[in-house]
């Protein structure tokens, strides 16, 4: 049985490939959204509550291999999962999409830590802060600039610092839709994580079309593991990792 640590578009594509191939697999969401997408596989939600919970889940479901297709900025779950798989003697694969690269017309600057962003921006900036509501820690220095953060699920929770605003909705891959949204809010700068992938690129293409500067946070440092960049390569790895005939342990 393959355990797919999900949460990305690549996880969705891989889940469908696993299901179509008839390979025994289940998916797990960390619980970042109240409405996780249907992956076509048996799915659990809410994370594992630490190392002991992960070990218990491996045993309970007869997991024989793990594919980590979580977000490139999920800095804790990957190394922990890899260490626990090594401990249990289970194959582990990281499915990691490539990062973005600037092209003609892009005005990008890179930074490593959230607190490095504020000094790069004028105090009267209106910022499309595309880091997600769970990643605002460290960006408090952007206040008193106006910051707009998109979130998938509605909330009664106020924005954590002055001059901030929630926008409810999912990111769009359509640059025109993203550009219209930014223009409507008077955005002058974009801050994003170097997440990679087509689904999140719309905001960067929109920034290019509007002539907006982009500050891009570099990814966390990687860790040693088997690594692929496409769902198709991950499927091939899964076929090899499963016991003979794909039987569960």
Per residue in 80-107, pLDDT tens?
Answer: 899 999 999 999 999 999 999 999 999 9
Going from the C-alpha of 71 to that of each of 92, 96, 189, the distances in angstroms are 16, 8, 24
* Cα separation, 85 vs 66, whole angstroms: 8
| 11 pLDDT above the threshold of 70 | yes
82 or 7, which is more confident? 82
Contact between residue 246 and residue 23 where contact means Cβ atoms under 8 Å apart: yes
pLDDT of residue 245: 47
Tell me which residue has tokens 């600037």. Answer: 102
Matching CATH number, 108-217, of 2.40.10, 3.40.50, 3.30.750, 3.30.420: 3.40.50
183 or 132, which is more confident? 183
Mean pLDDT of 14-26: 93
* Cα separation, 47 vs 14, whole angstroms: 19
Question: What rounded mean pLDDT belongs to the chain?
Answer: 89
Going from the C-alpha of 163 to that of each of 27, 45, 125, 142, 181, the distances in angstroms are 38, 33, 11, 10, 18
Mean pLDDT of 145-171: 92
* Cα separation, 18 vs 234, whole angstroms: 10
pLDDT of residue 249: 35
Percent of the chain residues past pLDDT 90, beyond the cut: 65
* Cα separation, 153 vs 133, whole angstroms: 10
Band of pLDDT at residue 222, cut at 50, 70 and 90: confident
pLDDT of residue 244: 62
Mean pLDDT of 214-230: 91
231 or 49, which is more confident? 231
Q: Which two tokens stand for residue 231?
A: 């769902």
For 48-72, what is each residue's pLDDT tens digit?
878 888 899 889 889 999 999 998 8
Integer-rounded Cα radius of gyration of the chain: 19
Mark out the alpha helices in the chain (DSSP H runs).
9-21, 51-60, 77-88, 175-184, 202-210, 231-241
**53 DSSP β-pair partners:** none
- Report the candidate in 73, 90, 77 with the shortest Cα–Cα distance to residue 28: 77
For 21-52, what is each residue's pLDDT tens digit?
999 999 988 765 555 567 788 888 777 878 88
The structural architecture, per CATH, of the domain 2-98+221-246 is 3-Layer(aba) Sandwich (3.40)
| 160 pLDDT above the threshold of 80 | yes
Percent of the chain residues past pLDDT 70, beyond the cut: 95
| 247 pLDDT above the threshold of 80 | no
CATH 3.40.50.720 domain extents, the chain: 2-98+221-246
Q: Which two tokens stand for residue 149?
A: 């953060």
pLDDT of residue 107: 96
Contact between residue 204 and residue 100 where contact means Cβ atoms under 8 Å apart: yes
pLDDT of residue 211: 97
């Amino acid at each position: 049985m393959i355990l797919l640590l999900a949460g990305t578009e690549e996880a969705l594509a891989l889940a469908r490939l696993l299901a179509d191939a008839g390979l025994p697999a289940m998916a797990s969401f960390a619980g970042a959204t109240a409405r996780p997408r249907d992956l076509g596989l048996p799915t659990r939600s809410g994370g594992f509550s630490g190392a002991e919970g992960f070990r218990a889940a491996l045993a309970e479901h007869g997991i024989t291999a793990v594919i980590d297709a979580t977000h490139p900025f999920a800095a804790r779950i990957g190394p922990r999962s890899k260490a626990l798989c090594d401990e249990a003697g289970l194959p582990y694969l990281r499915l990691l999409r490539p990062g973005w690269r600037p092209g003609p017309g892009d005005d990008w600057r890179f930074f490593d830590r959230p607190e490095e962003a504020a000094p790069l921006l004028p105090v009267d900036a209106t910022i499309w802060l595309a880091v997600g509501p769970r990643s605002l820690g460290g960006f408090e220095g952007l206040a008193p600039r106006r910051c707009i953060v998109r979130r998938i699920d509605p909330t009664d929770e106020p924005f954590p610092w002055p001059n901030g605003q929630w926008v409810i909705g999912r990111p769009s891959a359509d640059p025109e839709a993203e550009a219209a949204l930014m223009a409507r809010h008077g955005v002058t700068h974009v801050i994003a994580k170097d997440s990679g992938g087509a689904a999140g690129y719309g905001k960067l293409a929109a920034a290019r079309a509007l002539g907006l500067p982009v500050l891009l946070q570099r990814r966390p440092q990687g860790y040693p593991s088997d690594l692929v960049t496409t769902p198709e390569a991950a499927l091939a790895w899964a076929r090899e990792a499963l016991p003979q005939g794909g039987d569960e342990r």
